[in-house]
Amino acid sequence: MAIYKAGKNRWRVRIWHRGTRQDWIVNGIKKDAEAFEARKRVEVEAGSVVEGRVAPKFSDFCVDRYKPHAKAHLRATTWSVRRYQLADLIEFFGDLRLTAITPLDVERYKERRLADGIKPISINNELAVLQAVMSYARHLRVPVADLNLIKLPVREKSRLLVWSDEDVSRLLERCALLSPELVPIVVFLANTGCRRGEALALTWECVDLNQRMVRIEPSEEWQPKSGRPREIPISDDLHGVLQALPRKSRHVFPATLTGERYAYWPKRMFDRARDAANLQGGPHTLRHTYASHFLKEVPDLFLLARVLGHSDARVTRLYSHLLPEHLARARNAVRFGAPVVAAPTTAKAKAARRWNVPEIEVTAASDAGTVPATVPERRTRRR
Protein backbone atom coordinates (compact mmCIF):
# COMPACT_ATOMS: atom_id res chain seq x y z
CA MET A 1 0.00 0.00 0.00
CA ALA A 2 1.58 3.29 -1.17
CA ILE A 3 0.54 5.47 1.76
CA TYR A 4 3.14 7.44 3.75
CA LYS A 5 2.80 9.72 6.75
CA ALA A 6 3.49 13.31 5.73
CA GLY A 7 2.84 15.05 9.06
CA LYS A 8 0.19 15.30 11.71
CA ASN A 9 -3.07 14.09 10.20
CA ARG A 10 -1.48 14.30 6.75
CA TRP A 11 -0.80 11.37 4.43
CA ARG A 12 0.95 11.04 1.11
CA VAL A 13 -0.80 8.72 -1.38
CA ARG A 14 1.39 7.42 -4.20
CA ILE A 15 0.24 5.44 -7.22
CA TRP A 16 2.38 4.22 -10.11
CA HIS A 17 0.69 3.79 -13.48
CA ARG A 18 2.48 2.96 -16.74
CA GLY A 19 5.77 4.10 -15.32
CA THR A 20 4.37 7.43 -14.11
CA ARG A 21 4.13 8.31 -10.43
CA GLN A 22 1.20 10.24 -9.01
CA ASP A 23 1.30 11.79 -5.51
CA TRP A 24 -1.51 13.32 -3.46
CA ILE A 25 -1.67 14.77 0.07
CA VAL A 26 -4.71 13.71 2.07
CA ASN A 27 -5.74 15.34 5.33
CA GLY A 28 -7.39 13.18 7.99
CA ILE A 29 -6.82 9.78 9.51
CA LYS A 30 -5.19 6.86 7.78
CA LYS A 31 -8.53 5.34 6.82
CA ASP A 32 -9.33 8.49 4.84
CA ALA A 33 -6.07 8.10 2.98
CA GLU A 34 -6.79 4.44 2.30
CA ALA A 35 -10.23 5.25 0.92
CA PHE A 36 -8.75 7.99 -1.25
CA GLU A 37 -6.04 5.64 -2.50
CA ALA A 38 -8.59 2.97 -3.41
CA ARG A 39 -10.76 5.44 -5.29
CA LYS A 40 -7.82 6.91 -7.19
CA ARG A 41 -6.54 3.47 -8.10
CA VAL A 42 -9.92 2.66 -9.69
CA GLU A 43 -9.80 5.94 -11.63
CA VAL A 44 -6.30 5.19 -12.83
CA GLU A 45 -7.24 1.71 -13.98
CA ALA A 46 -10.27 3.13 -15.77
CA GLY A 47 -8.08 5.65 -17.57
CA SER A 48 -9.18 8.77 -15.66
CA VAL A 49 -5.54 9.79 -15.14
CA VAL A 50 -3.47 9.37 -18.29
CA GLU A 51 0.24 9.98 -18.59
CA GLY A 52 0.42 12.11 -15.48
CA ARG A 53 -2.46 14.39 -16.45
CA VAL A 54 -5.24 14.99 -13.96
CA ALA A 55 -8.68 15.82 -15.30
CA PRO A 56 -9.47 19.55 -14.92
CA LYS A 57 -12.49 20.96 -13.15
CA PHE A 58 -15.58 21.40 -15.26
CA SER A 59 -15.56 25.17 -14.79
CA ASP A 60 -11.88 25.50 -15.73
CA PHE A 61 -12.25 23.41 -18.86
CA CYS A 62 -15.35 25.32 -20.00
CA VAL A 63 -13.73 28.72 -19.51
CA ASP A 64 -10.26 27.89 -20.80
CA ARG A 65 -10.98 25.42 -23.60
CA TYR A 66 -14.61 24.94 -24.57
CA LYS A 67 -15.87 28.55 -24.63
CA PRO A 68 -13.22 29.79 -27.11
CA HIS A 69 -13.90 26.73 -29.27
CA ALA A 70 -17.68 27.17 -29.21
CA LYS A 71 -17.55 30.91 -29.84
CA ALA A 72 -15.36 30.36 -32.89
CA HIS A 73 -17.40 27.53 -34.42
CA LEU A 74 -21.04 28.28 -33.52
CA ARG A 75 -23.34 30.75 -35.18
CA ALA A 76 -23.63 34.06 -33.32
CA THR A 77 -27.28 33.40 -32.48
CA THR A 78 -26.47 29.90 -31.22
CA TRP A 79 -23.59 31.16 -29.10
CA SER A 80 -25.81 33.85 -27.55
CA VAL A 81 -27.94 31.03 -26.13
CA ARG A 82 -25.09 28.58 -25.48
CA ARG A 83 -23.28 30.90 -23.07
CA TYR A 84 -26.29 31.08 -20.77
CA GLN A 85 -26.66 27.29 -20.88
CA LEU A 86 -22.99 26.95 -19.96
CA ALA A 87 -23.46 29.35 -17.06
CA ASP A 88 -26.18 27.10 -15.58
CA LEU A 89 -24.03 24.00 -16.06
CA ILE A 90 -20.96 25.63 -14.52
CA GLU A 91 -22.96 26.76 -11.51
CA PHE A 92 -23.87 23.14 -10.75
CA PHE A 93 -20.92 21.07 -12.04
CA GLY A 94 -18.21 23.73 -11.78
CA ASP A 95 -16.23 22.31 -8.83
CA LEU A 96 -16.35 18.72 -10.09
CA ARG A 97 -13.57 17.33 -12.21
CA LEU A 98 -14.53 15.96 -15.59
CA THR A 99 -13.85 12.43 -14.35
CA ALA A 100 -15.91 12.90 -11.18
CA ILE A 101 -19.26 13.73 -12.84
CA THR A 102 -21.55 10.76 -12.28
CA PRO A 103 -25.02 9.85 -13.58
CA LEU A 104 -26.33 10.62 -10.08
CA ASP A 105 -25.00 14.18 -10.41
CA VAL A 106 -26.81 14.54 -13.72
CA GLU A 107 -30.06 13.30 -12.16
CA ARG A 108 -29.70 15.81 -9.35
CA TYR A 109 -29.13 18.54 -11.90
CA LYS A 110 -32.35 17.61 -13.70
CA GLU A 111 -34.26 17.58 -10.40
CA ARG A 112 -32.97 21.03 -9.48
CA ARG A 113 -33.84 22.53 -12.86
CA LEU A 114 -37.32 21.04 -12.76
CA ALA A 115 -37.77 22.47 -9.27
CA ASP A 116 -36.77 25.88 -10.68
CA GLY A 117 -39.64 25.63 -13.15
CA ILE A 118 -37.53 24.99 -16.24
CA LYS A 119 -39.31 23.08 -19.01
CA PRO A 120 -38.08 19.56 -19.85
CA ILE A 121 -37.19 20.52 -23.41
CA SER A 122 -34.92 23.31 -22.12
CA ILE A 123 -33.26 20.93 -19.66
CA ASN A 124 -32.66 18.46 -22.49
CA ASN A 125 -30.97 21.22 -24.47
CA GLU A 126 -28.70 21.90 -21.51
CA LEU A 127 -27.86 18.20 -21.26
CA ALA A 128 -26.95 18.29 -24.94
CA VAL A 129 -24.51 21.10 -24.15
CA LEU A 130 -23.05 19.03 -21.30
CA GLN A 131 -22.57 16.16 -23.76
CA ALA A 132 -20.91 18.55 -26.22
CA VAL A 133 -18.45 19.70 -23.54
CA MET A 134 -17.56 16.12 -22.62
CA SER A 135 -17.19 15.14 -26.28
CA TYR A 136 -14.87 18.06 -26.97
CA ALA A 137 -12.76 17.13 -23.94
CA ARG A 138 -12.59 13.56 -25.20
CA HIS A 139 -11.54 14.88 -28.60
CA LEU A 140 -8.65 16.71 -26.93
CA ARG A 141 -7.75 13.49 -25.07
CA VAL A 142 -8.64 15.07 -21.75
CA PRO A 143 -9.81 12.49 -19.19
CA VAL A 144 -13.61 12.54 -18.83
CA ALA A 145 -16.26 10.39 -17.23
CA ASP A 146 -18.17 7.98 -19.45
CA LEU A 147 -21.71 9.30 -19.15
CA ASN A 148 -24.84 7.96 -20.78
CA LEU A 149 -27.16 10.95 -20.51
CA ILE A 150 -30.87 10.14 -20.31
CA LYS A 151 -33.05 13.00 -21.43
CA LEU A 152 -36.38 13.90 -19.92
CA PRO A 153 -39.51 12.84 -21.79
CA VAL A 154 -41.02 15.66 -23.80
CA ARG A 155 -44.63 15.68 -24.78
CA GLU A 156 -44.85 16.77 -28.39
CA LYS A 157 -47.79 18.75 -29.69
CA SER A 158 -50.08 16.75 -31.91
CA ARG A 159 -50.99 19.83 -33.93
CA LEU A 160 -49.16 23.02 -34.83
CA LEU A 161 -50.81 26.33 -34.09
CA VAL A 162 -51.96 27.83 -37.39
CA TRP A 163 -53.78 31.09 -38.02
CA SER A 164 -56.61 31.41 -40.51
CA ASP A 165 -56.94 34.07 -43.20
CA GLU A 166 -59.20 36.07 -40.89
CA ASP A 167 -56.67 35.79 -38.04
CA VAL A 168 -53.81 37.12 -40.17
CA SER A 169 -55.98 39.95 -41.50
CA ARG A 170 -56.99 40.89 -37.97
CA LEU A 171 -53.36 40.83 -36.84
CA LEU A 172 -52.29 43.12 -39.68
CA GLU A 173 -55.13 45.52 -38.88
CA ARG A 174 -54.01 45.76 -35.25
CA CYS A 175 -50.40 46.25 -36.34
CA ALA A 176 -51.47 49.10 -38.62
CA LEU A 177 -53.28 50.78 -35.72
CA LEU A 178 -50.75 50.20 -32.93
CA SER A 179 -47.36 49.81 -34.65
CA PRO A 180 -47.49 50.69 -38.37
CA GLU A 181 -43.74 50.00 -38.80
CA LEU A 182 -44.44 46.30 -38.14
CA VAL A 183 -46.84 45.87 -41.06
CA PRO A 184 -44.20 45.29 -43.81
CA ILE A 185 -42.21 42.72 -41.85
CA VAL A 186 -45.34 40.85 -40.72
CA VAL A 187 -46.57 40.77 -44.33
CA PHE A 188 -43.15 39.45 -45.35
CA LEU A 189 -43.19 36.66 -42.76
CA ALA A 190 -46.74 35.66 -43.66
CA ASN A 191 -45.95 35.50 -47.40
CA THR A 192 -42.56 33.76 -47.23
CA GLY A 193 -42.54 31.55 -44.12
CA CYS A 194 -39.14 33.01 -43.17
CA ARG A 195 -37.79 32.95 -39.65
CA ARG A 196 -37.82 36.28 -37.83
CA GLY A 197 -34.01 36.41 -37.77
CA GLU A 198 -33.90 35.94 -41.53
CA ALA A 199 -36.29 38.85 -42.01
CA LEU A 200 -34.38 41.16 -39.65
CA ALA A 201 -31.07 40.45 -41.41
CA LEU A 202 -32.47 40.72 -44.97
CA THR A 203 -30.74 43.33 -47.15
CA TRP A 204 -31.84 44.86 -50.44
CA GLU A 205 -29.00 43.07 -52.21
CA CYS A 206 -30.89 39.80 -51.64
CA VAL A 207 -34.21 41.10 -53.01
CA ASP A 208 -34.80 40.85 -56.76
CA LEU A 209 -38.12 42.52 -57.53
CA ASN A 210 -37.76 41.93 -61.27
CA GLN A 211 -37.31 38.17 -60.91
CA ARG A 212 -39.58 38.21 -57.84
CA MET A 213 -37.16 36.24 -55.69
CA VAL A 214 -35.68 36.66 -52.21
CA ARG A 215 -32.33 35.03 -51.42
CA ILE A 216 -31.71 33.91 -47.87
CA GLU A 217 -27.97 33.43 -47.58
CA PRO A 218 -25.43 33.27 -44.74
CA SER A 219 -23.85 36.51 -43.58
CA GLU A 220 -22.06 37.91 -40.56
CA GLU A 221 -25.40 38.97 -39.12
CA TRP A 222 -27.34 35.79 -39.78
CA GLN A 223 -26.72 32.18 -40.72
CA PRO A 224 -29.58 29.84 -41.74
CA LYS A 225 -29.97 26.75 -39.59
CA SER A 226 -29.08 24.49 -42.49
CA GLY A 227 -26.10 26.69 -43.37
CA ARG A 228 -27.18 26.65 -47.04
CA PRO A 229 -28.65 29.57 -49.01
CA ARG A 230 -32.08 29.28 -50.55
CA GLU A 231 -34.50 31.28 -52.69
CA ILE A 232 -38.11 32.15 -51.93
CA PRO A 233 -40.62 33.44 -54.50
CA ILE A 234 -42.26 36.82 -53.92
CA SER A 235 -46.05 36.78 -54.07
CA ASP A 236 -48.04 39.53 -55.76
CA ASP A 237 -49.19 41.00 -52.44
CA LEU A 238 -45.67 41.00 -51.00
CA HIS A 239 -44.27 42.48 -54.24
CA GLY A 240 -46.43 45.58 -53.83
CA VAL A 241 -45.39 46.02 -50.19
CA LEU A 242 -41.68 45.70 -50.98
CA GLN A 243 -41.92 48.12 -53.90
CA ALA A 244 -43.47 50.77 -51.65
CA LEU A 245 -40.73 50.54 -48.98
CA PRO A 246 -38.13 53.35 -48.88
CA ARG A 247 -34.49 52.36 -49.31
CA LYS A 248 -32.87 54.57 -46.69
CA SER A 249 -30.95 51.63 -45.24
CA ARG A 250 -29.26 48.54 -46.65
CA HIS A 251 -31.66 46.49 -44.57
CA VAL A 252 -35.15 45.91 -45.88
CA PHE A 253 -36.79 46.22 -42.46
CA PRO A 254 -34.72 48.67 -40.39
CA ALA A 255 -35.62 49.99 -36.97
CA THR A 256 -37.58 53.23 -37.18
CA LEU A 257 -35.49 55.22 -34.69
CA THR A 258 -31.95 54.25 -35.71
CA GLY A 259 -32.39 53.25 -39.35
CA GLU A 260 -30.18 50.21 -38.72
CA ARG A 261 -31.27 46.60 -38.41
CA TYR A 262 -33.16 45.51 -35.32
CA ALA A 263 -30.81 44.08 -32.71
CA TYR A 264 -33.69 41.93 -31.46
CA TRP A 265 -37.17 41.07 -32.61
CA PRO A 266 -39.58 43.87 -31.53
CA LYS A 267 -41.38 41.51 -29.18
CA ARG A 268 -43.28 44.12 -27.17
CA MET A 269 -44.85 45.78 -30.22
CA PHE A 270 -45.74 42.46 -31.84
CA ASP A 271 -47.22 40.99 -28.66
CA ARG A 272 -49.36 44.08 -28.13
CA ALA A 273 -50.82 43.80 -31.64
CA ARG A 274 -51.29 40.03 -31.27
CA ASP A 275 -53.14 40.44 -27.95
CA ALA A 276 -55.32 43.17 -29.44
CA ALA A 277 -56.21 40.72 -32.23
CA ASN A 278 -57.14 38.13 -29.57
CA LEU A 279 -54.65 35.58 -30.92
CA GLN A 280 -52.20 33.13 -29.40
CA GLY A 281 -48.74 32.39 -30.74
CA GLY A 282 -45.74 34.35 -31.89
CA PRO A 283 -43.92 35.35 -35.08
CA HIS A 284 -42.98 31.70 -35.68
CA THR A 285 -46.71 30.94 -35.95
CA LEU A 286 -46.63 32.86 -39.22
CA ARG A 287 -44.15 30.25 -40.49
CA HIS A 288 -46.56 27.43 -39.62
CA THR A 289 -49.42 29.40 -41.14
CA TYR A 290 -47.47 29.81 -44.38
CA ALA A 291 -46.81 26.06 -44.51
CA SER A 292 -50.49 25.29 -43.94
CA HIS A 293 -51.76 27.61 -46.65
CA PHE A 294 -48.97 26.51 -49.01
CA LEU A 295 -49.93 22.84 -48.76
CA LYS A 296 -53.60 23.63 -49.34
CA GLU A 297 -52.73 25.16 -52.71
CA VAL A 298 -49.62 23.11 -53.58
CA PRO A 299 -49.57 19.74 -51.75
CA ASP A 300 -45.85 19.21 -52.31
CA LEU A 301 -43.79 18.56 -49.20
CA PHE A 302 -40.50 18.48 -51.12
CA LEU A 303 -41.08 21.95 -52.56
CA LEU A 304 -42.14 23.25 -49.15
CA ALA A 305 -38.93 21.83 -47.70
CA ARG A 306 -36.86 23.85 -50.18
CA VAL A 307 -38.78 27.05 -49.49
CA LEU A 308 -38.58 26.76 -45.70
CA GLY A 309 -35.00 25.53 -45.68
CA HIS A 310 -35.70 22.31 -43.79
CA SER A 311 -34.68 18.73 -44.44
CA ASP A 312 -37.34 16.60 -46.14
CA ALA A 313 -37.80 14.26 -43.19
CA ARG A 314 -38.27 17.07 -40.73
CA VAL A 315 -40.78 18.90 -42.89
CA THR A 316 -42.71 15.68 -43.39
CA ARG A 317 -42.87 15.08 -39.65
CA LEU A 318 -43.91 18.63 -38.82
CA TYR A 319 -46.30 19.44 -41.63
CA SER A 320 -47.57 16.18 -43.11
CA HIS A 321 -50.80 16.48 -41.14
CA LEU A 322 -51.44 19.79 -42.90
CA LEU A 323 -51.86 18.09 -46.26
CA PRO A 324 -55.51 18.24 -47.30
CA GLU A 325 -57.28 14.95 -46.54
CA HIS A 326 -53.93 13.29 -45.87
CA LEU A 327 -55.58 10.60 -43.70
CA ALA A 328 -58.66 10.26 -45.90
CA ARG A 329 -56.45 9.17 -48.80
CA ALA A 330 -55.31 6.18 -46.73
CA ARG A 331 -58.84 5.06 -45.94
CA ASN A 332 -59.06 2.32 -48.63
CA ALA A 333 -55.36 1.67 -49.14
CA VAL A 334 -55.77 -1.77 -47.48
CA ARG A 335 -59.06 -3.67 -47.88
CA PHE A 336 -59.96 -7.11 -46.54
CA GLY A 337 -63.63 -7.98 -46.69
CA ALA A 338 -65.46 -10.49 -44.53
CA PRO A 339 -66.66 -13.73 -46.23
CA VAL A 340 -70.28 -13.95 -47.33
CA VAL A 341 -71.90 -17.07 -45.79
CA ALA A 342 -75.47 -18.19 -46.58
CA ALA A 343 -77.92 -18.50 -43.71
CA PRO A 344 -77.96 -22.03 -42.16
CA THR A 345 -80.93 -24.24 -43.23
CA THR A 346 -80.26 -27.61 -41.58
CA ALA A 347 -79.40 -28.71 -38.07
CA LYS A 348 -75.93 -29.80 -39.18
CA ALA A 349 -75.37 -26.48 -40.90
CA LYS A 350 -76.48 -24.64 -37.76
CA ALA A 351 -74.08 -26.74 -35.71
CA ALA A 352 -71.31 -25.97 -38.19
CA ARG A 353 -72.02 -22.25 -37.86
CA ARG A 354 -72.07 -22.54 -34.09
CA TRP A 355 -68.70 -24.28 -34.14
CA ASN A 356 -67.43 -21.84 -36.79
CA VAL A 357 -66.85 -24.69 -39.27
CA PRO A 358 -66.96 -23.63 -42.93
CA GLU A 359 -69.06 -25.54 -45.44
CA ILE A 360 -67.18 -27.04 -48.37
CA GLU A 361 -68.48 -27.94 -51.82
CA VAL A 362 -67.80 -31.46 -53.10
CA THR A 363 -68.60 -33.14 -56.41
CA ALA A 364 -70.04 -36.69 -56.51
CA ALA A 365 -69.51 -38.68 -59.71
CA SER A 366 -72.35 -40.77 -61.21
CA ASP A 367 -73.32 -42.45 -64.49
CA ALA A 368 -75.63 -39.60 -65.26
CA GLY A 369 -72.96 -36.96 -64.70
CA THR A 370 -71.73 -34.87 -61.79
CA VAL A 371 -73.97 -33.88 -58.96
CA PRO A 372 -72.80 -31.00 -56.71
CA ALA A 373 -73.49 -31.41 -53.03
CA THR A 374 -72.72 -29.19 -50.06
CA VAL A 375 -71.35 -31.10 -47.11
CA PRO A 376 -70.22 -29.53 -43.82
CA GLU A 377 -66.64 -30.34 -42.86
CA ARG A 378 -66.51 -32.79 -39.99
CA ARG A 379 -64.91 -31.89 -36.71
CA THR A 380 -63.72 -34.57 -34.31
CA ARG A 381 -64.56 -33.96 -30.69
CA ARG A 382 -62.30 -35.13 -27.95
CA ARG A 383 -63.76 -37.56 -25.46
Are both 122 and 264 inside the same structural domain? no
CATH code assigned at 62: 1.10.150
**10 inside domain:** yes
Q: What is the pLDDT along the chain (383 residues), one digit of tens a residue?
A: 578 788 788 888 888 766 667 778 888 888 888 888 887 777 666 554 444 457 899 999 999 999 999 988 887 778 889 999 999 999 999 999 999 999 999 999 999 999 999 999 999 999 999 999 999 999 988 889 888 889 999 876 656 789 999 999 999 999 999 999 999 999 999 999 999 989 998 999 999 999 999 999 877 666 666 667 899 999 999 999 999 999 888 999 998 766 777 878 999 999 999 999 999 999 999 999 999 899 888 888 888 888 888 866 666 667 777 776 666 666 677 878 777 766 655 665 565 555 554 544 444 444 444 444 444 555 555 54
- Strands of 8-51 (E only): list them: 10-17, 20-27
Are both 307 and 243 inside the same structural domain? yes
Are both 135 and 190 inside the same structural domain? no
141: left (phi over 0), alpha (psi -120 to 50) or beta: left
Are both 178 and 267 inside the same structural domain? yes
Are both 300 and 223 inside the same structural domain? yes
Count the alpha carbons within 13 Å of 324 in the hemisphere toward its beta carbon.
Answer: 8
**50 inside domain:** no
Given a contact cutoff of 8 angstroms between Cβ atoms, the answer to whether 242 and 252 are in contact is yes
User: What pLDDT, on a 0 to 100 scale, did the predictor assign at position 226?
Assistant: 63
Are both 278 and 174 inside the same structural domain? yes
Per DSSP bridges, beta strands 207-208 and 3-7 are unpaired
Are both 272 and 125 inside the same structural domain? no
Q: How far from chain centre, in Å, is Cα 230?
A: 22
Q: Of 236, 183, 245, whose CA–CA distance to 212 is shortest?
A: 236
Are both 175 and 91 inside the same structural domain? no
**257 inside domain:** yes
For residues 312, 314, 318, 324, the Cα torsion angle rounded to the nearest 10 degrees is: 10
> Who contacts 156 (Cβ-Cβ below 8 Å, separation ≥6)?
none
Are both 39 and 63 inside the same structural domain? no
The residue segments making up the domain with residue 262 are 165-329
**117 inside domain:** yes
- d(CA 98, CA 17) in angstroms, rounded, equals 20
**242 inside domain:** yes
Q: Of 146, 137, 136, whose CA–CA distance to 56 is shortest?
A: 137
Three-state DSSP at 61 gives: helix
Domain count, the chain: 3
**376 inside domain:** no
**63 inside domain:** yes
User: What pLDDT, on a 0 to 100 scale, did the predictor assign at position 82?
Assistant: 94
User: What pLDDT, on a 0 to 100 scale, did the predictor assign at position 368?
Assistant: 47
